[in-house]
């Protein structure tokens, strides 16, 4: 092969090189676009994740009906010992979690109507002992054509807390340059709160304040009015200086 032929380029080789460059360029642009789309989604996803824990993992509150039925036998003298204890427990639950009035339905027209009257009086006594205000009790009769055992029915509304669903991890936590709260952050705390809270009503509105304990306040105020010292007196054993205690002295 002479020099002129050696200087000429092979067209097939040129096409191979061009094809390789096109493939490399396509793959590179695809990777860049993929990363751009991923970063864009990542930023957009974080924009939807609120930094407020209650908004990110809300605890849903609903109302449920808490019911109990106390069958009254026409051969009995009213509520049995077991039924009285069930009633006390039920009324205690109403005071702790009840929302609204306590509905009490008594049967009329049944064969146990006379015994039911005695059971109603027992209910009033237990409700008074438990601390249920009379104004909270809503009485309603209902017709019953059944024989012995027509029950006294009680019902009240209470709040129920529904914990958020946890275990969702849509983000790669190793690739968060913004250092914002991840989607699952705080979910376990909200879930535990919803399950452990004594009364879900506290998540809807706060409770009223209980009366203050005024025994000590009255004693201090009386001393202040009389011009006496309101500082608590110390016994001789409590009068040691701090330096004596630190050095092991004081006796």
Range of the domain at 72: 62-162
d(CA 95, CA 131): 8
Q: Which of 196, 214, 238 is the last residue of a domain?
A: 196
Radius of gyration of the CA atoms of the chain, in A: 39
pLDDT surpassing 60 at residue 160: yes
**Which region among 32-46, 62-76, 142-156, 221-235 has the lowest average model confidence (pLDDT)?**
32-46
159 DSSP β-pair partners: 63
Q: Sheet containing 137-143: which strands, arranged edge to edge?
A: 60-71, 151-162, 98-108, 137-143
Residues 179, 113, single domain; the answer is: no
Tell me which of 98 and 45 has the higher pLDDT: 98
Residues 103 and 144 in one domain: yes
210 vs 98: which has the higher pLDDT: 98
How many angstroms separate the CA atoms of 174 and 178, rounded?
11
pLDDT the model gives residue 136: 94
* Pair 170, 156 in one domain: no
| Mean pLDDT, rounded, for 40-55 | 58
Task: Give the pLDDT score at 38.
Answer: 43
Residue 33 counted as domain residue: no
Count CB-CB contacts under 10 A for residue 87.
21
In a domain, residue 183? The reply is yes
109 with 158, same domain: the answer is yes
Based on the domain organization, do 108 and 151 belong to the same domain? Answer: yes
Residues in the chain: 251
Does 68 fall in a domain? yes
pLDDT for the residue 1: 47
Share of the chain above pLDDT 90, in %: 32
* Last residue of one domain, picked from the residues 108, 143, 162: 162
Same structural domain, 180 and 134: no
Mean pLDDT of 100-104: 95
pLDDT of residue 103: 96
Cα-flanking dihedrals φ and ψ of residue 70, to 5°? Answer: -120, 95
Asked whether the predicted pLDDT for residue 112 surpasses 50, the reply is yes
Q: In the chain, what percentage of residues exceed pLDDT 70?
A: 72
Does residue 134 lie within any of the structural domains? yes
The residue among 84, 123, 86, 87 whose CA lies nearest residue 106 is 123
Same domain, yes or no, for 156 and 182?
Answer: no
Q: Which of the listed residues 118, 147, 162 is the one where a domain comes to its end?
A: 162
> What would the mean pLDDT of 25-52 be, rounded to a whole number?
51
Same domain, 113 and 142: yes
Looking at residues 10-31, what average pLDDT do you find?
A: 62
Give the pLDDT of residue 16.
66
Helix/strand/coil (H/E/C) assignment for every residue in 125-184: HHHHHHCCCHHHEEEEEEECCCCCCCEEEEEEEEEEEECCCCCCCCCCHHHCCCCCCCCC
With contact defined as beta carbons under 8 Å apart, do 187 and 57 qualify? yes
Output 131 or 111, whichever has higher pLDDT: 131
My answer on whether 89 and 141 are in the same domain is yes
**In this structure, are strands 151-162 and 98-108 parallel, antiparallel, or unpaired?**
antiparallel
Neighbour-count burial for 102-129, b at 16+ CB within 10 Å, e otherwise: bbbbbbeebbbeebbeebbebbeebbee
Phi, psi of 75 (to 5 degrees): -95, 0
Asked if residue 175 belongs to a domain, the reply is yes
What is the per-residue pLDDT for 25?
61
**Residue 215 confidence (pLDDT) above 80:** no
Provide the 3-class DSSP secondary structure of residue 202. Answer: helix
* 158 and 77 assigned to the same domain: yes
Confirm whether 71 is domain-assigned.
yes
Question: Which stretch of 13-22, 75-84, 126-135, 217-226 has the lowest confidence by average pLDDT?
Answer: 13-22
In a domain, 187, yes or no: yes
The answer as to whether 99 is a domain residue is yes
The structure's pTM equals: 0.57
Of the listed ranges 99-113, 138-152, 186-200, the least confidently predicted one is: 138-152
What pLDDT shows up at residue 81?
A: 92
* Half-sphere exposure in the Cβ direction for 118 (13 Å, CA): 13
pLDDT of residue 125: 95
Shared domain for 178 and 154, answered yes or no, is no
Neighbours of 222 (CB within 10 A): 11
Q: Output the domain CATH number for residue 127.
A: 3.30.1330.60
Number of domains into which the chain is organized: 2
pLDDT at 35: 46
Q: Are residues 129 and 192 in the same domain?
A: no
């Amino acid at each position: 092969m002479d020099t002129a032929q050696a200087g000429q380029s092979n067209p097939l080789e040129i096409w191979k090189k061009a094809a390789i460059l096109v493939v490399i360029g396509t793959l590179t642009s695809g990777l860049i676009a993929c990363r751009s789309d991923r970063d864009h989604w990542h930023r957009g996803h974080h924009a939807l994740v609120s930094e407020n824990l209650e908004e990110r993992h809300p605890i849903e509150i609903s109302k449920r009906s808490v019911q109990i039925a106390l069958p009254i036998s026409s051969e009995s003298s009213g509520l049995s010992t077991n039924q009285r204890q069930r009633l006390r427990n039920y009324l205690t639950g109403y005071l702790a979690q009840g929302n609204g009035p306590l509905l009490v339905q008594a049967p009329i027209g049944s064969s146990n109507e006379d015994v039911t009257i005695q059971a109603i009086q027992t209910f009033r006594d237990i409700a008074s002992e438990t601390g249920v205000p009379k104004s909270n009790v809503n009485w309603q009769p209902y017709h019953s054509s059944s024989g012995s055992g027509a029950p006294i029915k009680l019902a009240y509304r209470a709040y129920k807390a529904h914990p958020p669903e946890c275990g969702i991890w849509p983000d790669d936590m190793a690739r968060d340059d913004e250092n914002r709260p991840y989607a699952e952050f705080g979910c376990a705390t909200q879930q535990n709160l919803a399950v452990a809270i004594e009364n879900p009503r506290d998540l809807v509105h706060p409770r009223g304040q209980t009366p203050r304990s005024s025994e000590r306040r009255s004693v201090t105020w009386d001393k202040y009015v009389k011009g006496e010292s309101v500082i608590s007196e110390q016994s001789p054993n409590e009068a040691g200086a701090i330096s004596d205690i630190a050095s092991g002295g004081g006796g």
